[in-house]
Structure 1
Amino acid sequence: MPRTIGVIGAGQLARMMIPAAVELGLEIRVLAEGEGMSAALAAVQVGDYRDRETVLAFAETVDVITFDHEHVPQEILRELVDRGVPVHPGPDALLYAQDKLLMREKLSELGLPVPDWARVESIEQLDDFIAEHGGRAVVKTPRGGYDGKGVRVVAHGREVAEWFTALAEDGRGGALLVEELVEFRRELAQLVARRPSGDIAAWPVVETVQVGGVCSEVIAPAPHSAGKLADVAADIALTIADGLGVTGVLAVELFETTDDRLLVNELAMRPHNSGHWSMDGATTGQFEQHLRAVLDLPLGATGSRDDWSVMVNILGGPAEGALADRYDAAFAAHPTVKVHNYGKDPRPGRKVGHVTAGGDDLDDVVYEARATAAIFQD
């Protein structure tokens, strides 16, 4: 069995794979973009993930490749596969996480529910779409956007004129993705994990709360989700995982609309912020499950340990000092809450850690999680 896992990218997702690997007796090696990153304690090489020679050299030191992010160029991924390196998820799946236009096309082809959308190559085309959809729409850059970046709600095409210019200048063409501005009741996320052999396991659907385009809180399971809603969310994610051939963890972000539909918003083919609750709140956390999946091992059970789990991100951190300076206060006041420190320097809006609380009363669990997170923020 392969035992050395290579992770491209050294952010907090790679960092949280490390203890899962240690518990399973696996070796994990990280290709870091720079010194001092979140997963630096497992970094064996520092280099550019866009550089062919760097990635090929790193791949020679491991048995299987997986990712902290989806940004490794397709040509490098395909060369790894051609050389016989197991890559999970593979380039044929990652393609749809790297390009939102291709993702929308594929999901539509699979008959899955998505917002009304179009590919637009000019301000005039964008204005026509906006006029047809109530005077406002959501515009997204096809590549590179995350945590609210590369996404704007606009009323006029000229509001993203510089995006058309930038896309034309980088040689990829000037197309943007435009979508209807969905009237939604709340945002949900459905995580599943899929082995190369095809077995799939799904966690409970969760509710996510966004602040400024960044995930702030996650409630697991999503309140009032038992029954049909949970079944539909899981079926959507399972269909995507099979239809795209995803291996590893897949996160499907969803809108629950005001007319009781579920629409697919975004995809992530890696562990995801909306699944952090599972580290402490599920029988098998997403990071252990991801490692099992990429090694094609039997998947673990995904049931919840408590009636409710609530994860709250620590965004920004203290104005002075480090998160660890607040441990005394946090641990004394909230001894049942788990704290995860990403080893990042505090900075406004930056995800520097998260906390997770669990229990049988949702109001109490929400309070414990929020109050603990607040101790680490000024």
Structure 2
Amino acid sequence: MTHQAGIPLGVRFKLLSDTPHDSAAQVCGDVVVGDYRDLEVLRAFAATCDVVTFDHEHVPTEHLRALREEGVAVLPGPEALRFAQDKGAMRARLAEIAVPCPRNRLVADPSDVAAFAAEVGGWPVVLKTTRGGYDGKGVWVVHDERQAAEPFQAGVPVLAEEKVPFRRELAANVVRSPHGQAVAYPVVESVQVDGVCSEVIAPAPGLSATLAAEAQSVALRIAGELDVVGHLAVELFETTDGRILVNELAMRPHNSGHWTIDGAVTSQFENHLRAVLDLPLGDPRPRARWTVMANVLGGDYPEMYPAFLHCMARDPGLRIHMYGKDVKPGRKVGHVTVSGDDLDDVRERARHAAGYLRGTITE
């Protein structure tokens, strides 16, 4: 999707891919297959690039620092990216700049988790490995000291957080350029099922203008304080008592911003490219009153093409994006987007198409 956004900008891509079958490798003309964890592979790859950027946060920070010291333009930089890589570092930094977050601290063992639970008013509490988690992986909701043992088996530091009584999850997506220009997209509602994003509603329905502005302001302040260059997604809790708390950060185009491809004047992908190339940023405003993006998760039917044709014929207003991934149950293999003036209609159409593609809806 980033490659697609770069075509009208005249951006040429070179891709470092784990395998020749990855989604981007199927569309990019210049592909190097290699291990992003190998510094020599990264050095050789970056030598012919003007700018290096990412579609995930797992590249070792020390490798990125080495590239930066050797004169490679790495954006976002390793100093910023580490706060998306390490949840413990992220929480500490956000506390320094007075960003509202759930109560939290690093814990040493299950008995320390029990002590933390007592500090925040009791069980349950949320445990997270500080590195490597995504889409619900590396996150546990534990109800007693016995259950708290499992996260420590991963061999990485564990962060404990209070379990926040929240009304819903929100996301504030912003983009910032090297010289400090920044834009903010409408705050969206992100609907999670089993730790995986199911759908995104833009803008978040029923969100007060005051709280929406606060969420955008928080995201822009984080981007500035952490010196983020490119796209930043700030995942938020809207609490039952009307506050917002920061849950997670992602420094790359993000699933909560996929709706912008069809629903905004300038997509998150194009604005990310504009930012890392230090071009003027594009207009983030929505094109329609409502846009709903529904993720297509793999089901029991590996061949999706017949369902794809059905959805196109049934609803010509759909925008369907398939990622070229092998279909596996629960895996994100695409998304559908619908825009319009009637939220109930838009949401039903997006849900129907995603369900039909997965095989959970048959009519």
Confirm or deny: 8 A CA contact 1:315 1:350 kept in the other structure: yes
Confirm or deny: 8 A CA contact 1:130 1:155 kept in the other structure: no
Could you list the structure 1 runs, at least 4 aligned residues long, displaced by more than 6 angstroms after superposition. none
> Which one-letter code corresponds to 2:7 in the other structure?
V
Distance (whole Å) between structure 2 residues aligned to residue 353 and residue 318 of structure 1: 15
Secondary structure of 2:173 counterpart: strand
Counterpart among 236, 239, 264 of residue 246 in structure 2:
264
Equivalent residue, structure 1, for 2:135:
147
Equivalent residue, structure 2, for 1:163:
151
Equivalent residue, structure 1, for 2:349:
368
Equivalent residue, structure 1, for 2:358:
377
Secondary structure of 2:53 counterpart: strand
Is 1:313 equivalent to 2:300 in the alignment? no
Q: Which moved more, 1:118-127 or 1:344-353?
A: 118-127
Is 1:134 equivalent to 2:126 in the alignment? no
> Which one-letter code corresponds to 1:199 in the other structure?
Q
Q: How many residues align?
A: 356
Confirm or deny: 8 A CA contact 1:59 1:85 kept in the other structure: yes
The structural deviation recorded for 1:131 is 2.8
Equivalent residue, structure 1, for 2:5:
20
Counterpart among 316, 325, 331 of residue 335 in structure 1:
316
Task: Quote the sequence identity (%).
Answer: 55
Equivalent residue, structure 2, for 1:38:
23
The structural deviation recorded for 1:317 is 4.3
Where does structure 1 lack aligned partners over 5 or more consecutive residues? 1-15, 168-173
The structural deviation recorded for 1:103 is 0.3
Matches within 5 A, 1:6-155: 16-41=1-26, 42=28, 44-132=31-119, 133-155=121-143
Confirm or deny: 8 A CA contact 1:317 1:352 kept in the other structure: no
TM-score for both structures, normalised by structure 1: 0.92
- Note the alpha carbon deviations across 1:46-81, whole angstroms, 9 max, x for none: 111000000110001211000010011111100111
Confirm or deny: 8 A CA contact 2:300 2:329 kept in the other structure: no
Counterpart among 331, 335, 349 of residue 350 in structure 1:
331
Distance (whole Å) between structure 2 residues aligned to residue 157 and residue 293 of structure 1: 46
> Which one-letter code corresponds to 1:27 in the other structure?
R
The structural deviation recorded for 1:226 is 4.2
Distance (whole Å) between structure 2 residues aligned to residue 267 and residue 259 of structure 1: 23
Equivalent residue, structure 2, for 1:170:
none
Confirm or deny: 8 A CA contact 1:339 1:356 kept in the other structure: yes
Secondary structure of 1:134 counterpart: coil
Secondary structure of 2:247 counterpart: strand
Is 1:221 equivalent to 2:211 in the alignment? no
- Note the alpha carbon deviations across 1:118-177, whole angstroms, 9 max, x for none: 11012111111123332210000000000000000001233242432432xxxxxx5310
